[in-house]
Amino acid sequence: MKSKPRFRIDGELREETALPHVWSRCIGAGRANEALRADWQRQFAEVVAATGVEYLRFHGVFHDDMFVYRDSYGGGFGPDAPLPSPVYTFGYVDKVFDFLLDLGVRPFVELGFMPRALATQTETVFWWGAHCSPPKDMARWVELVERTVEHWIGRYGPDEVRQWRFEVWNEPNLVPHFWTGTKTEYFELYEHTVRAIKAIDPALKVGGPATSVFVPDDRYKGETEDRSAALATAAATDVDALDWRPVWIEDFIAWCAGRHLPIDFVSAHLYPTDFAYGANGEAVHITRYADATYDDLTLLRKLVQNSPYPEAEIHITEWSTSPSARDFIHDTPFAATSITRSYLKCATLADSISYWTFTDVFEEGGAGIGPFHGGFGLVNEGGIHKPTFHAFRMLGRLGDRLLLSTPDGVVTRDSRTSAVSAVFFNYPEDMAMKGVAARGSYPATRALAELGPARRIRHSIGGLRPGGTFLVEILDWEHGNAAEAWYRLGSPLNLSRAEHDHLGGVADALLRYTLTVPDDGVLDLDVELAPWAVMSLTQAA
């Protein structure tokens, strides 16, 4: 048996540990219907090729524009005629799921939202009109879930569908936006849904409650949100000193345990932000410290391990620097550095941390205005790569065995090929461990570029093949920053083809050079990283 190579990092033989690629386990997208677009599909295929994403989660698989649940039918002129019983059609959903599976990506199925014909309320959320109320007939909801899951098993086979995850709803604590019922009504929805799915196949994986953020108060302790409980949070002078805890998780676990309901995974959203309503009724926008995601995950992991479901997976099914699709930080290197730092620090704390989202083709508020509008995506609507795209690409090149971990990055080995790779970054000291706060315009982000100082990265890697070459890639303010190039063009709202091509070239023009391993087999890495830079080192030959 061939022995594994031993590498000396900074002159020392290092014991390896596992490095789960939590960043590529799952990623988010807006809604199912958007996945029917040709540009969406091209962008997703590119993201998969660059990052190795394994699962995709999105809203709206049951939304009316996917035409799954039909209780009436017509030709578009005049009212539809009622059908004698509901009909279930999966043509649109099949197109989306076939596309994903053909790419080697599995669905992380979010079961929602409510078809209009089943909704108890007709008020909607988003430009595309999601119905977020409990069902007016739970039996009909259960039948919808049953027919859907049975269809997927019939089309793709039980062995495939057993690899999927089924998440019941999305952010039900946010009443009336994503749920118009109570906490108990959501728990009842989960109970009926998980029983229905497990009756079809006990091996199918179901979980929840997909609640949003952590809070340091009791606003979500009751059946619906009590904004008065957040007054102290809104008035706090040091929010990072408060006791931030997950929403509904402990109540959800207790409810399920008391009814002997299965929980295959616990899901939550971990945006490191909050919107607490103050005494004047206005929301106070809170940005937490840089390690908020790490601390929240550490607590969540402890809660699950000490619960009646210690083996439950932990999936963070939405995560980003903020929950706003109009936050211009998303377009910048500041986001790239922030997420790189958090992913590397949190890699062993969850089974997935799903970045929200891979693309700016995202219509909750309608299409964004302009090519850079603060959308969540790794790529903009036109397919131009943002700095976060390159951060994900660099993380995806890391190996699965950790040779060195520092506050500024990691050195890894691939267990299959033994290739050595590394990622380092400079989250500026001037940030004083503060998180990157949302900005409502691109010019408002630019002051962050003045923070510092630069950081010198110096390490040696021994045990390499003499003459081997390594590629160094550096993303920073001057390299790979398409939004800044757009700003310097005068921030045109609508791009010419020439402008689009120019920005696409700027987006991918990272600083690149190669290093050659000398005869002693020791590669000396000595790089000065500008503030907010992210660097990768990959074995080229």
Residues identified as active-site: 171
Specify burial of residue 415 (Cβ count, 10 A radius: 0-12, 13-18, 19+). Answer: middle
Quote the tokens at residue 237.
């002078």
Whole-number Å distance between alpha carbons of 383 and 359: 8
Residues recorded for the chain:
541
Torsion from C-alpha of 265, 113, 108, 93, nearest 10 degrees: 150
Whole-number Å distance between alpha carbons of 317 and 439: 24
What residues contact 85, with CB distance under 8 A and at least 6 apart?
Answer: none
Q: What phi and psi values does residue 435 have, to the nearest 5 degrees?
A: -80, 165
Whole-number Å distance between alpha carbons of 473 and 475: 7
Cα 304 from chain centroid (whole Å): 21
Specify burial of residue 88 (Cβ count, 10 A radius: 0-12, 13-18, 19+). Answer: middle
335, 436 Cβ separation under 8 angstroms: yes
Whole-number Å distance between alpha carbons of 54 and 103: 9
Whole-number Å distance between alpha carbons of 419 and 318: 31
343, 377 Cβ separation under 8 angstroms: no
Whole-number Å distance between alpha carbons of 183 and 190: 11
Whole-number Å distance between alpha carbons of 352 and 54: 10
- Tell me, what amino acid is at 439? R
Residue 76: left if φ>0, alpha if ψ -120 to 50, beta else—which one? left
Can you state the percent helix, strand and coil of the chain, rounding each to 5?
Answer: 30, 25, 40
Which neighbouring-strand residues pair with 9?
Answer: 12, 461
Strand 205-212, strand 265-269: pairing: parallel
Quote the tokens at residue 455.
């950081």
Q: Using alpha carbons only, give the angle 352, 357, 359 rounded to the nearest 5 degrees.
A: 140
Assign 3-class secondary structure to 488-535: HCCCCCCCCHHHHHHHHHHHCCCEEEEEECCCCCCEEEEEEECCCCEE
Report the interhelical angle of 138-156 vs 91-102 (nearest 10°).
40
